[in-house]
Chains A and B, each alone.
Chain A
Amino acid sequence: GENVEQHPSTLSVQEGDSAVIKCTYSDSASNYFPWYKQELGKGPQLIIDIRSNVGEKKDQRIAVTLNKTAKHFSLHITETQPEDSAVYFCAASAQPQAGTALIFGKGTTLSVSS
């Protein structure tokens, strides 16, 4: 089955700096890679996703890149703000349209200090 590795487990940055979180996956059949932000005591919130036929996707301060050959994808947050502080999870799924579940990485706790 799919295995998703995520690094780093914790990340501390100064407000305004960039933050990068990296994930690798094992199943070459995986073709959908979302990123979620989870605040304490709440459910995960989808912030951006990418499909395997796209190498990069950007939404304002957030971008995701995908390297299918190397089986890794990354989340980039620019101009970080204190409200970006949360736990971020990457995930992977093969054939999501067919009902396949997401497999999550272990999460990265991002702390943005002002």
Chain B
Amino acid sequence: GAVVSQHPSRVICKSGTSVKIECRSLDFQATTMFWYRQFPKQSLMLMATSNEGSKATYEQGVEKDKFLINHASLTLSTLTVTSAHPEDSSFYICSARSAGGQEKLFFGSGTQLSVL
């Protein structure tokens, strides 16, 4: 299957700082990428849909000013958690779907964010 690279895999930061997470599609172009959040032993909750060259679409309840998403190219999307607080600690996972009307969605390996 297609490869989606996500990093960092783990980050620990102080409260009030910002953290950037990168998601790259390595062997395909992704016009659409999705960002999910997962709490321990829970399901994946969609945060936002990222379309290359346009503004991201955020799910209800997700603060767009806190979770900044940029999808500047067909192979890279970034999620920046601004002014992080302990409640933002979670497992963040990106996913990408190949351009050209493909259905299959491939996931990155996830980023465990811990805010102290």
Which A residues contact B (CB, under 8 angstroms)? 32, 34, 36, 41-46, 49, 51, 89, 93, 96-97, 99, 101-107, 109
Decide if B62 is an interface residue (CB 8 Å cutoff).
no
The one of B1, B44, B93 in contact with A46, judged by C-beta atoms closer than 8 angstroms, is B1
Per-residue CB proximity of B75-116 to A under 8 Å, as 1/0?
000000000000000000101010001111111111010000
**B107 touching A43, Cβ below 8 Å:** yes
B contact face: mostly helix, strand, loop, or mixed: strand
Which residues of B sit under 8 angstroms from A42, Cβ to Cβ?
109-110
The one of A45, A97, A101 in contact with B34, judged by C-beta atoms closer than 8 angstroms, is A101
Give CA–CA (A45, B6) in the complex, Å: 14
**A43 touching B6, Cβ below 8 Å:** yes
Which bracket fits the contact residues of B?
Answer: 20 to 34
The one of A51, A105, A109 in contact with B103, judged by C-beta atoms closer than 8 angstroms, is A51
Which residues of B sit under 8 angstroms from A41, Cβ to Cβ?
110, 112
The 10 nearest A-B residue pairs measured at CB: A43-B107, A97-B101, A96-B103, A99-B32, A43-B110, A106-B43, A43-B109, A104-B44, A44-B107, A104-B43
